[in-house]
Amino acid sequence: MVNQSKFLSCEKALHPGFSCDGASARILRDAFVSAAKIYLPLFFIGSLGSKKITDWRYVAFRLIPNVLRSSLFISVIGSLWCRLACVGRNQFGMHYRISYFIAPFIASWIGIIIEKKERRHELAVYVANQAVEAIWRVLESRGVVKQVKNGILYLFCISMGFLLYFQKNEPSLLSGSTRTLLRLFIGAESFPDAFEQRVERIYFKITDFVSSKILRRKPTSRRKKIHRIDSDSHSESKSNQICFHGRGGCAPYITIGFLRSFLLGVVIRCLFLFLPFLLTPKKLGKQVPKLLEKSSWSLAMFLGILGGGSRLIQCALRRIRGTEDGLNQFIAGAIVGLAFKFNQSTEVAMYVASKAAESIYFMMVNRGLIKPFPHGETITFSAATGFLFFVALLEPQNVRPSYRKFLTRASGGWWPSIAGAFTPVRKAIGIPSTYV
Ligand SMILES: [Zn+2]
Ligand SMILES: [Zn+2]
């Protein structure tokens, strides 16, 4: 017997209680308001670092128009998707799976054209990363691929290997945001940032104090100490000549690397714990014991090992291999990536992997191994979004829960009712799935 749900009208299966045009118009309005609420603080925080934020002309003529533009981009995709899905159902007389890929593909293509050109690349990488994970989950649910034990950990390790390689050897292949994040969390060998310089000053003050007051050693100026260590290391062996840190040799360099990243982890944890409760002092006090919980230190340990461990392994490899090439950074990144065990998260691993994949793509284009295809960003964004909408509607269990939450927020609350109403069609099509 043919399951009649396949033929349900779009009014029943997609937008119960609203006409096609009515639903489309309401999604446009609700998604626009919801997206503006997300984008306004986001763009505002993003501009805090620059002095422009105090200029009312910048806020009125740049920041707010950008917020409106990005909000329109999101709402047009949601609204058009719904309208095109209706067209598909009404044209073909039933719900065909393929129409739920084509509708979001076209909607995304039109939507991304509205968005600023500079943001398209970042958006394409973001959705491609989500789509790759969804493809994996779809294949896994069909038994085509099997879950690899610790697969996320290995993915993170290899990605970190590539990122550390690019950071040192071909930084131009890293996108601006990746370069900033690597510098922030791991630091840069040649140009210590202000935070690292501060940690370095405190470190040397403490070691000088311990050395002169507690161990009662003859006080030596830091300049002399650096000179001594450098000249010692120069005379030891040829391999040591490769390690020029200029700040007291390998041991302080590694320790400072660990401390700066560890402290950064503590600062981030404190911000997340206390910032949301700044205006409610009673609740703020209740947050303090949470800082002492073991889980609070996992991020700090993870970052500390990334920062200090990568330096330790690179210094050791320089001595062992007697050379400084990209392989040292790759190995260091891959080994130190094991610290991910302290703070494992699929989202972080997928983000790091997408950034590594993006740089590998740029490297292949640069070396002439592949040709960049025209409208690559638009095609990637549209295909990935099309696939994600397709899976989110037909096999919701195969998209990351955080993406479903994003769909709910970005659609102005429409997504759960659409996906819920679609349940009978989903069952009729024969895909074992539930809307959770
Ligand atoms: Zn309709
Ligand atoms: Zn060294």
Separation of 401 CA from ligand 1 center, angstroms?
Answer: 26
**Closest-approaching ligand to the CA atom of 25:** 1
Instruction: Using the mean position of ligand 2's atoms as its centre, give its distance from the Cα of residue 154 in Å.
Output: 26
Half-sphere exposure of residue 360: CA atoms within 13 angstroms, side-chain side: 12
- What's the pLDDT at 84? 96
DSSP state of 54: G
Q: Compute the average pLDDT of residues 339-363.
A: 86
- Please write the tens of the pLDDT for every residue from 157-215: 999 999 999 998 998 999 887 888 888 888 877 677 778 888 888 888 888 888 777 76
Nearest to 359 by CA among 384, 332, 310, 326: 326
Judged by its nearest atom, the ligand closest to the C-alpha of residue 86 is: 1
- CA–CA dist 13, 7 (Å, integer): 9
Of the candidates 377, 384, 349, the one whose C-alpha atom is nearest the C-alpha of residue 361 is: 377
Q: What is the 383 CA–ligand 1 centroid distance (Å)?
A: 23
Confidence tier at 331 by pLDDT (50, 70, 90)? very high
Q: How far is the CA of 339 from the centre of ligand 2 (A)?
A: 21
- How high is the pLDDT of residue 433? 55
Q: Give the percent of the chain with pLDDT over 70.
A: 89
Cβ-contact 7, 83 below 8 angstroms:
no
**CA torsion angle for 136, 142, 148, 151 (degrees, to 10)?**
20
How far does residue 10's CA lie from ligand 1's centre (Å)? 4
- Give me the pLDDT at residue 390, please: 94
The pTM for the full model equals 0.72
Indicate whether 70 pLDDT > 90: yes
Q: Locate tokens 């934020």: which residue?
A: 53
Both structure tokens of 87: 């067209």
Whole-number Å distance, alpha carbon 325 to ligand 2 midpoint, is 14
How far, in Å, is the centroid of ligand 2 from the Cα of 248? 10
Residue 243, classed as helix, strand or coil, is: coil
Tokens of 390: 């397709």
Lowest mean pLDDT among 232-246, 305-319, 342-356: 232-246
> Is residue 397 within 8 Å of 434, Cβ to Cβ?
yes
Q: Using a pLDDT cut of 90, give the percent of the chain over it.
A: 33
219 CA to middle of ligand 2, Å? 24
Q: Ligand 2 mean position to 244 CA, how many Å?
A: 7
Instruction: Starting from the CA of residue 23, give the closest ligand.
Output: 1
Residue 67 CA to ligand 1 centre (angstroms):
29
Cα(228) to centroid of ligand 2, in Å?
15
What per-residue confidence (pLDDT) applies to 430? 64
Rounded Cα distance between 155 and 279, Å, is: 40
State the average pLDDT for the chain. 84
Say which ligand is closest to the CA of 244: 2
CA of residue 435 to ligand 1 center, whole Å: 20
Tell me the per-residue pLDDT of 124-169, one tens digit each, with 9 for 90 and over: 988 998 898 889 888 888 888 787 788 889 999 999 999 999 998 9
Residues present in the chain in total = 436
Q: Above 70 in pLDDT, residue 10?
A: yes
Q: Are 254 and 311 in contact (CB under 8 A)?
A: yes
Contact criterion met (CB below 8 Å) for 131 and 388? yes
Residues 231-287: tens digit of each pLDDT: 444 444 444 557 777 667 888 889 999 999 999 888 888 887 877 777 777 777 777
Q: Which ligand is the nearest neighbour of the Cα of 14?
A: 1
pLDDT at residue 434 above 70?
Answer: no
Where is pLDDT greater, at 318 or 50? Answer: 318
pLDDT band at 225 (very low <50, low <70, confident <90, very high): very low
State the Cα–Cα distance between residues 301 and 108, nearest whole angstrom: 40
Which ligand has the nearest atom to the CA of 85? 1
83-94: average pLDDT: 92
Ligand 2 centroid distance, CA of 190 (Å): 12
